Amino acid sequence: MAADPADLPADDEDDHRDDHGPVRRCVVSSERLPVAALLRLTVAPDGEVVPDLDHRLPGRGLYVRADRASVARLTAKGVLARAARRSVTVPPELPERLVTMVRDRALAVIGLARRAGQAVAGYDQVAVALKARRLKLLTQAIDGAEEPRQRFRVQLPGGAIDALTGEELGRPWSRDRLVHVGVTPGGLADRLRIELERLAALRGGDGQDTV
């Protein structure tokens, strides 16, 4: 009989790598996955499990796949305690907190891109940037009208990831609502892709548009 994944020891900070960079094992599924596809947790001195998405807190890392089903299982009895090899306290709001933190990280990157002049927003500006082939990443409100979203989507195959609502997309621009945001090539576009892919999976989708 195969071992329960949660009975396997959690990864510490040893350097497990594959051809694409560092990998860690998910405490829920036992899969070894790229760090970009995982969320890091650690155990505070008082035994409480806390998120460490910046990988800065001391202690052994506990990694969970950034998707809705995996994160939902974190509060199941014994999952994190067995992985941590100690008694832990798992806040019941941990799954929701992780979603909020990833969302806020995505919005922070959009804000950085806006201030750096690497992002455009609104239908007209995004249309111009797409026509000029200046965009690497397109993100559109998940609650926006489908027809205009699809019109832009087909112009950037593989570059559209939708995970935020219109109200959320508007925040970095101090607007009540936005449907279309584009980001030009560079490190910020790459960082935003990671956060949006995580957020889409945490919210129950993959964020990828098929065209």
Output the pTM of the full model. Answer: 0.87
Per-residue pLDDT tens over the stretch 156-211: 999 999 999 999 999 999 999 999 999 999 999 999 999 999 999 999 875 555 33
Joined tokens for residue 149:
């979203």
Domain 5-91: give its CATH code: 3.30.1230.10
Per-residue pLDDT tens over the stretch 107-152: 999 999 999 999 999 999 999 999 999 999 999 999 999 999 999 9
Domain residue limits, the chain: 5-91, 97-202
* Three-class DSSP category at 34: strand
* Three-class DSSP category at 22: strand
- Give the max Cα distance, the chain: 59
Q: What DSSP string describes 77-88? A: TTHHHHHHTS--
Per-residue pLDDT tens over the stretch 40-81: 999 999 999 999 999 999 988 999 999 999 999 999 989 999
- Determine how β-strand 119-121 pairs with β-strand 180-183: antiparallel
Q: What are phi and psi of 145, to 5 degrees?
A: -60, 140
What is the CATH T-level fold of the domain 97-202, as seen in this structure?
60s Ribosomal Protein L30; Chain: A; (3.30.1330)
Asked if 5-91 and 97-202 have one fold, the answer is no
